[in-house]
Structure 1
Amino acid sequence: MSAENKAHVATANRIAKRYGATFNSGDGFDIELDELIIEVETTATLSNAVSRLASMRGNIYIALTNKDGVEEALKLVENTRLGVMDAQGEIVKPCQVTA
C-alpha cells in the first residue's frame, strides 16, 4: 500500500469514527451519513474530486489528508459550494447547502 493510500485510509477512518459513521473503501462515497457526504482526498486526487463533486447537491465536504492539501483545497473550492475539512474532520470551510 502506498503512503498516499495509507494516509487516505487513516484519515477516512479517523473522520468516520468522529462522525459515528463507517469508511466505505469500495465504490461510492468515502463517508456517507443521512445528510452528509465526505470524500477524503490527497493533493494528487483533489482537483478531480472538486470537478466531480462541484455540481452535486447536499452537504458535501472534501477532507484532506494533510495540512498542505487543505490550503490547496481552499483555493480550488473558492467559487464552489463545496466544504473543506482537515485531516481531523474539523470544518475549515462550511459547504453552502442547496435544496
Structure 2
Amino acid sequence: MAGGMNKRGSYGPMAERVAAGRAPAPGAPPPAPAAAPPVRPCWVTDSRGRLPGLLLEWRQRPDGWHGRVVHPVEDDAHAWVVVEEWLPAGLLDPA
C-alpha cells in the first residue's frame, strides 16, 4: 500500500500540526487587528443641553438624515445612564 498510515510527508506529526493551528510560530508577525468600526466623537444638543457622544452610523429617512448615537443622559434620580438612540442630524455636531 503506497504511503500507508505512518507517512508524515513534510507536514510533521499530528501534534505539531494541531499546535501550529492554535498559536503563531515563534518570530511570526502578530495577526492583523480587526478593523475598527467607524465610530466618531460628536456633541449631542437637545433639551437637556450639550453632551458628548459617539456617532455609530448615519441613516437617511424620509424626514432627513439621522445618526445612531451613544451618549450619557441624567435620569430622574440624578444618576448618569448611557443611551443609544437615533437622533436627527440637526442635534449632532462634530467634536
| TM-score, L = length of structure 1 | 0.18
Quick check: which has more Rg, 1 or 2?
A: 2
Q: Which has the higher helix share?
A: 1
Higher normalized strand content (fraction of residues): 2
Scaled by the length of structure 2, the TM-score of the pair is 0.18
